[in-house]
Structure formats: C-alpha cells, structure tokens
Structure 1
Amino acid sequence: MSESFGTRHEGMPSEGMDPTFYRSAAEAAAAPRETLAYVVAFDRAGERPDALTVLDVDESSEDFGTVVGWAELPTRGDELHHFGWNACSSALRHAGHDLGPDGLQRRYLLLPGIRSSRIHVYDTQPDPRSPRLHKTIDAGELAAKAGYSRPHTLHCGPDGIFLTCLGGPDGAEGPGGIALLDHTTFDVLRAWETDRGPQYLSYDAWWHLNQNTLVTSEWGTPSMIEDGVVPELLLGQKYGHSLHFWDLAEGRHQMSVDLGAEHQMVLELRPSHDPDATWGFVGVVISTADLSASVWRWHRDGTDWRVDKVITIPAEPADPSDLPPALQPFGAVPPLVSDINLSVDDQMLYVSCWGTGELKQYDVSDPATPREAGSVHLGGIVRRSSHSSAPSEPLVGGPQMVEVSRDGRRIYVTNSLYGAWDDQFYPGGVGSWLAKIDTDPASGGLTLDERCFPHGDDFRGLRVHQVRLQGGDASSDSYCYR
C-alpha cells in the first residue's frame, strides 16, 4: 500500500467526480437504482468464447429481463468466474487519485479467467450496453510480476485492485495469495503480501478500511478444485478451514483463526458496510461431521479477532438413487453454501444453498443472532424446484452467486458454481438461468419476479456465474464515511 493510505478526500465531492463513488452506505442506498446488470457466461467445453453479457433490469423498459448486450472474449478456455469494477467508493479513502471528470471512474470491468489465468478488461463506456475490450493481461505477466495464477476474486481498493489467486506461478500449487493491480493502467504491480506467515491456501479477501485490517479465506490449490471435489481430500479435511487477519497497510500477516478441520472450504467474506464496524460474515461449504453448512461471524475481541458459528443449515435426507454418485454413500443432500451476501444497510444476509436449491434470507440486525426471514426454492440436486414463471420446467443447478441491489430490494441469483463441480453434483447438466427476487428490506420475505428469468437459449447455451450491477451493488464497494 502507498504511504498515503489512511488519508481521505474530505469535504464535498470533487467537481465532475463519478457519481457512483458514494461517501456512505446510506448515500449508496439512496442513489438511482440500477438499470443494467452485467453477467459473465462461460462455455464449459472451452470450445466457444466466454462472454460478458448485459441484462436489462429496468422494470419500465420494454426489454426488461432480456439480454441486451453481448461481448465475446477473443480467446477460448478462460472459464469466467468472479469479476468486478476497477474502482469504487473506496477511492475516497486515498487522497492520491484524480477524481475530476477525466480521472478515476467506475468504468472498467476486469474479467479473470480462472482456468486460463488471463484477465480481460472491458470498457463500459460510452455505451454501457456494448462493453468493449480494452486490454488483456496474460498469464505470464501475472506469474512474473506477482507470482500467482488462477485468479479468482477481485475488489477495488483505495489505491489498487486486489486480485486473489488460488495458485502459484504458471499453475503451481501455491501458495495462493493477492496480486495488486494498478487502478487505471491495469498493470500487475506485485504480490500484495510482504509477510504471509502460515497462510498457504487462498480464496477471498476483503477489509475493514478504518481498522487497517484485511481478512482472507481459504478454498484449495488448483489440483484440489479443477477436476471437482476430491473425496479423499474432503474426508481427510485438507481443504481450507481458517481465516487470516492482516495489516492492510503493510501486507503483513497478523493472526489465523482455525474454524475446525471438519469445517471445509471457508469461502465468501462479507464485512459490515459500516466503516467503523469490526465484524463480518463468512460462509462454510460443508462439515465432514454431518454434511451441514454454516455461516460464521468474525469480530474484534480486544486486540484479537474471534470467529463464532452463528448459522447452521443441516443436510436433507434423500433416496440414494436420486443422488449423484459422489453423494450416494451418504443418503443426504448437503446444502453446499457456495455464496453469501450482506445488504448495504447490514440488515439482511442472503445465503445460497446450491445443493438443496434454496436461497435463505436472515435478519442480521443483531449480527450475533441471525433470524431467518425468508426463503425461496429454485432447482436443487433432488428437489429441482421450478420457477413460478415456468412451473412445468424442473430446474437444475441452484441459487449460487447472489447479488443484492444497493437499496436492498432486489436480489439476483445465478445457478452455475464451477464447471467441474457443476458436472459432479449435477451430472445431467445444470442448464443456465438467472432469477431476480424481490424483497421488502424492512420486513423480509422473498418473491420471484416472473418477468425476469432469462434462461436456456437466452445465454446462447453458456453457463452463467456472477452478476455485477450498474453503479455498484452490495458486494462491490467499501464505504469510507458514516
């Protein structure tokens, strides 16, 4: 991090500053709602180019719920997965930026290929419906300058783009970690860590800016994930089961918290949006003790950090004949919590149960004691619940990546997890679908929007993974002011 980390843009916003750089979570929630959603789609076979697609989500539009933009990658075999903006509200935490009309903007989307280790940068201007390829960062640059491969998740930070990677250079097993990229040139600068301590496995990274703390989670190395879950490694408790806490300014490891070896695959991190808070949630895919999934809360305890389980979601008994081979010996469907998302006002937590085909909503106004407030079923390994707009069509896959609008009223879910894992748990195929779900952020409850359910041929046979919303969403930004 630069020496200017910790300074802020005080006073009124700069003239001409990108209006989607919100000074606070409340300002973000009150801003105009999104009219477009960007969705990455990939070809499992790697024979066709992956694509950045654009979905019309303006409820007053004649095109509402349809794909209105399509930008094919120039390469094949990338497997687009997570992606994100080059800059966001966290830019207000660092005084070195030019925030004038020609300066830093939320304009470019970076699309890492989790299999190819290439990163494609797309410009959403001047026509947000027609993103244009701006730059490609090849795997060699990522390996040479940062020592990493298999880029997974990125977050726009105060003075750079933080890109978490699962593997070492050229696909080596590890350690995984964070590559730091320039906000505007997209050059790979270096590995972010200066002292990684015991950290080896990587997955997500996010922070508490005002506490100078970064948190990372753990999945597995490339060989542990690229061909599906390895049963021997899962039952041997070899996947990630710890959180790591770091000095954000110095890139120095400070503390690890082991959740217990049975709690396998500690994935999505969702810190509070309140910049002065010191808590957040992380999802755990599966327990080897009983196939349950769980959500844990981290919080500061004096000078240390504690992590406590606050939600347990049990497996559901099932006839082995209805299960894929990997699950038949267990006679049950694990929830497989693969994503979580926290509303911008820190009041509602959304939990994707990809295995059982359920999106759960929890009231987390008291983050230590979540209370279930809503639920909707879509797909599932056994249940295969249909969408209300097509009740005669059983769905495969399940709610996987979940994104929440800034005002907390709209939730978007997609159904593909990761190509090899899709095939393992849904061996008949997962298809391709995206669902929009409405809620009242004050009282909770989930309702499917029957007008917004693009699926099948709408995505030209490609599988869809993550959604980013125009102007930012619940998992795009870090806010600097209360």
Structure 2
Amino acid sequence: MAGPREKLAYVVGFDRSARRPDALFVLDTDPGSASYGRVTHMTEVPGLGDELHHFGWNACSSALAHEGHHAPERRYLLAPGLRSSRLHVFDTHPDPARPRLVKVVEAAELAAKAGYSRPHTLHCGPDGVFLSCLGGAGGADGPGGVALLDHETFEVRRAWESDRGPQRLAYDVWWHLAHNTAVTSEWGTPSMIENGVDPDLLLGRGYGHALHFWDLDTGRHRHRVDLGDEHQMVLELRPAHDPRATWGFAGVVVSVADLSASVWLWHREGEEYTARKVITLPAEPAKTEELPPALQPFGAVPPLVTDINLSVDDRWLYVSAWGTGELLQYDVGDPFHPRRTASVRLGGITGRRPHPAAPQTPLTGGPQMVELSRDGRRVYLTNSLYGSWDDQFYPDGIDPWLIKLDADPERGGLRVDERFFPHGEEFRGLRVHQTHLEGGDASSDSYCYP
C-alpha cells in the first residue's frame, strides 16, 4: 500500500469481429504528464479471435510464501485468450511503457498437459501460476478447472485438482494461503456462455450457483456451499488480504426470482466454510421499448453484478452493476454488515449516463471490470463484459472506454476524474475488458501483512 503511485496502466482489448488481432494497451496515469489519460502504446498478439479477457501478473505477494519462485519480480503480464485457449506472455522490461510479446503457449499444450481449454482467470500462487479454465480438452465442454503453470517458464505443468468431488463448472480461483484453503466459483461451460445468456438455461437454473472449498496444497475438494439455484452465476472472488482472516466476498450476477444481483460473504465457522448474502441490488423498472429484446419480457433492468474488488486494507468493497450502469462503494470494515457509502452512474442499458467530460454523449456499456490502486485512492473502470453478452444486453454496440474515479479511503466517496477519459478510436476499435496497474493493484495480491 505504501508503494509508489502507478504511472502506467495496462488494458487488454479484443476485436469482436475477430478480423484484427487483439492487443495489450498501455495508458499514461501520471497526472503531471502531457499524455495523461491517453493510450501511449499498443502491442498486438499474432493470432485472430483470441478475445483477451482476464489477465494478470506473474508475481504477487504469494510469491514470497513458497519455494520454486527464485526471483519474485512483477515483470510479466500473462493474457489468456478466452476463445482461442492461447496464453500470451508480455515482458514489461526493460521498458514498462513498451511491453513486448515474448511467448505464446498454444491451446494444444494446455489441453495435453492439463486437460483444459478456454482459460479465463489467472493468479500467481503457491506451486505455480493458477489458471482457471472453463472447458475440457479435445472439444469436451467440461468439466472446467484449474491448470498449473511454471512460475518462470510459463509452461503448463498439470491440472491442479487431485480430487474434484462434485465440482464441474468453473470461473474464478483464490485462496487463504495461511489456512491451506482454496476457493473456486462457478459460471458455466463454453457452450453455456459463448453465444450469450441462454434463457432456457437461466430460467432452468442451470448456471453455476455454488462455491467450492479445497485443500490448497493437494488440490483435494473439501466441500461445496450452494447459494441456492435461484442465484445464477457466481463469478468474482475477493478474499480478505489480511492473512489471518478467513472470509471473502463473491459476486452473483442475477437472481431468477426477481432479477436482483447480490454479494455474498463466505467465512469459516469451526472447521467448515459457509456463506451468507450481505448485499442485494434490486432490478430497476424500465419501459419495454427502452430494453433490449432479451429483457423486454421482464420490463426491468437487472443490475448484473459482473465484478467486485476489495481494497488492500480490506476496508472498501467496490461493486460493478453492469446492467444499470452503476459503480457502488461499500464500507466493509465489518464484512458481515457492509454499509453503502457512494455510487456513480455511468452508461447503463437504459439512461446511458454520460462522462462529465462529454456530457452530450451517452456512454455505451456500463461499469464492468473494476481495478483499484494499492493505496485505495484511484479506481479504474472498463465497459465490455464478453463479446456475445455485450451484443445481447447492448445491441447498439459497445464503444470502448476507460474511466478513472478518485476515492477517499478515509471517509469514503467517489468522484469522476474529468481529465482521464480514453475512449472510442483511441483503442483502435477494440473493446476493452480488464485493467492492471504498474507495480500491482488490489486484485493482484492475495494477501498483505499489516
């Protein structure tokens, strides 16, 4: 938290048409720079149709807690292609402002060595880099799971699980390092997500609705915590950074009972983990003619919580409601009783709130991936979820943007930075998904000693 302020941000972008290469963008985040808030560099990948989605650093705080990582230096950015199953390795040395693509791990290696495809999320962890995957090998739709990559060569080593128990659906993976506990969440297999939300699956409660707890060192499944099958798509996991803690937050996209979204707290009771709902965001009524076809039968906009983020001091939780176009801030000093402290409206399926720097131009998309600086003072937002889901909920198209907000980590509060608004053609026509910051950010580290 006391590290220097980031001067650069890295953002992945993808071409929805798959006719141009995807890319890693570099943005200037130094407010004293003449190019503040602008894209300063772009590194393309060699293939087509990757759909770069989530990505991450090769080294994090957990690199200090295990053997095998001889030089824990935050240097490489690893970017999987969610549709291609390729993994791209970017080197930010010697010039962090001009990262170079130095390695591509092909889909065949991931399939042959780990038995997986469709890599989604990665975190540096004990034993290797943990890479969660949605699909199986050889065209198998599942089960999804976690592949282990070598910390230094980034070669695929093996599947992490030794006994998966009832787990079949995958999404995120995180852990409580000091308590030998891993946690995974559930979205769906590739056939369930790649063409947008399947209404029959959704109303039939067929998407993921559980958390899974594991032995971190062995990959053995301990137990499953079902949140109730009305709570569809358990996505982002954010464990407490304090290594003594045994709690964390999980975001749920939608309830089929009332179109609300929710955030759940998992915590340990005795030797077992359990979960409770601590935040509910209701759907908002809307005129039928203002809704995309997928939502017209319901007459309402679901919040669609698609990302959450927890500050490094475990004090502030940020919740992205991609459907209603709202970023919410909660004081979670008491994680069992979050207290809403601020919100900002940007974009949204209806209303389409503009950026203050361009008040006459309604924003497309809504707050989606949210990243937070280590000191908790800067929040970065992008607006694309997944190509086919973008098309379903924002059928008029997604014009890319990256927005920065200033946060008050003492009292709470959010304010949009009017000087920082890269958007549109600045991203060369690519949609942008996730952001990571030079030196690290709130979601790059799994713990922080007080």
- TM-score grouping bracket, smaller chain normalisation: over 0.9
Q: For residue 104 of structure 1, report the CA deviation from its aligned partner.
A: 3.4
Taking the TM superposition and a 5 Å limit, the aligned residue runs for 1:17-416 are 29-98=1-70, 103-416=71-384
Q: RMSD of aligned C-alpha atoms?
A: 0.8
SS in 1 for 2:138: helix
Equivalent residues of 2:117, 2:135 under 8 A apart: yes
Q: For residue 297 of structure 1, report the CA deviation from its aligned partner.
A: 0.1
CA distance in 1, matches of 2:289, 2:333: 41
Q: For residue 87 of structure 1, report the CA deviation from its aligned partner.
A: 1.1
Per-residue deviation, residues 163-220 of structure 1 (Å, max 9, x unmatched): 0000001342100000000011011000000000000000000000000000000000
Q: For residue 57 of structure 1, report the CA deviation from its aligned partner.
A: 0.3
CA distance in 1, matches of 2:157, 2:359: 50
Letter of the 2:193 counterpart: I
**Corresponding pairs, count:** 450
Equivalent residues of 1:40, 1:467 under 8 A apart: yes
Q: For residue 370 of structure 1, report the CA deviation from its aligned partner.
A: 0.3
Q: For residue 97 of structure 1, report the CA deviation from its aligned partner.
A: 3.2
CA distance in 1, matches of 2:129, 2:68: 15
Taking the TM superposition and a 5 Å limit, the aligned residue runs for 1:418-433 are 418-433=386-401
- Correspondence for 1:464 among 427, 432, 436: 432
- Identity within the alignment, %: 71
Equivalent residues of 2:174, 2:446 under 8 A apart: no
CA distance in 1, matches of 2:448, 2:425: 42
CA distance in 1, matches of 2:138, 2:364: 34
Letter of the 1:359 counterpart: L
SS in 1 for 2:297: helix
CA distance in 1, matches of 2:78, 2:210: 28
Letter of the 2:351 counterpart: R
The alpha-carbon distance between structure 1 residues 77 and 337, as it changes in their structure 2 partners (threshold 3 A), is same
Per-residue deviation, residues 401-439 of structure 1 (Å, max 9, x unmatched): 000000000000000000000000000001100100001
CA distance in 1, matches of 2:390, 2:139: 22
In structure 2, the residue matched to 1:24 is: none
Letter of the 1:346 counterpart: D
The alpha-carbon distance between structure 1 residues 288 and 238, as it changes in their structure 2 partners (threshold 3 A), is same
CA distance in 1, matches of 2:447, 2:3: 14
Letter of the 1:252 counterpart: R
CA distance in 2, matches of 1:220, 1:95: 33
Instruction: Give structure 1 stretches of 5+ with no counterpart.
Output: 1-28
Letter of the 1:57 counterpart: T
CA distance in 2, matches of 1:455, 1:372: 29
Equivalent residues of 1:92, 1:158 under 8 A apart: no
Q: For residue 105 of structure 1, report the CA deviation from its aligned partner.
A: 1.5
Equivalent residues of 2:51, 2:83 under 8 A apart: yes
Equivalent residues of 1:439, 1:447 under 8 A apart: yes
SS in 2 for 1:170: coil
CA distance in 1, matches of 2:72, 2:350: 47
Q: For residue 252 of structure 1, report the CA deviation from its aligned partner.
A: 0.2
Report the TM-score, using the length of structure 2 for normalisation: 0.99
Runs of 4+ in structure 1 off by over 3 angstroms are none
Report the TM-score, using the length of structure 1 for normalisation: 0.93
Q: For residue 480 of structure 1, report the CA deviation from its aligned partner.
A: 6.0
CA distance in 2, matches of 1:149, 1:198: 19
Q: For residue 133 of structure 1, report the CA deviation from its aligned partner.
A: 1.0
SS in 1 for 2:77: strand
The alpha-carbon distance between structure 1 residues 409 and 238, as it changes in their structure 2 partners (threshold 3 A), is same
SS in 2 for 1:328: coil
* 471-480 or 296-305: bigger deviation: 471-480
SS in 1 for 2:335: coil
